[in-house]
């Protein structure tokens, strides 16, 4: 299973901005399917345009524009992009960022991937 490093998402990256402990990435989804993988950091994805199907070991989510997803670090998942243009905005959060704020991440590691319509 592939580990995606900080700022690494599948597709065409339009912009990446590195802040102290946060990485913002604007990505156009170009792969019809991305096999099981996980990311180095916890992150949110806001679907700006199009649709994507996200699956993990527990659930499968059909996300359209306006959906917000959260993945904790090292949470295995896969993506399927239906036909059409899809674009997402990612906010990655390094563990050091949580530590700086004194945020206990023990419960965060148990978080689920939840789509939310905004």
Least confident of 58-62, 66-70, 94-98, 101-105: 101-105
Q: What pLDDT, in 10s, does the model give residues 23-42?
A: 999 999 999 999 999 999 99
Whether this prediction's pTM lies above 0.95 is answered by no
Least Cα distance to 28 among 88, 108, 80 occurs for 88
């Amino acid at each position: 299973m592939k580990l995606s490093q900080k700022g690494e998402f599948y597709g065409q990256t339009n912009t990446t901005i590195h802040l102290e402990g946060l990485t913002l990435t604007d990505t156009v989804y170009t792969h019809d399917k991305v096999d099981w993988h996980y990311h180095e950091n916890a992150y949110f994805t806001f679907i700006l345009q199009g649709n994507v199907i996200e699956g993990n070991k527990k659930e499968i989510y059909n996300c359209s524009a306006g959906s917000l997803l959260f993945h904790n670090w090292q949470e295995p998942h896969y993506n399927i992009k239906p036909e059409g243009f899809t674009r997402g905005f990612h906010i990655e959060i390094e563990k050091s960022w949580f530590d700086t704020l004194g945020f206990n991440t023990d419960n965060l590691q148990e978080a689920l991937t939840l789509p939310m319509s905004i």
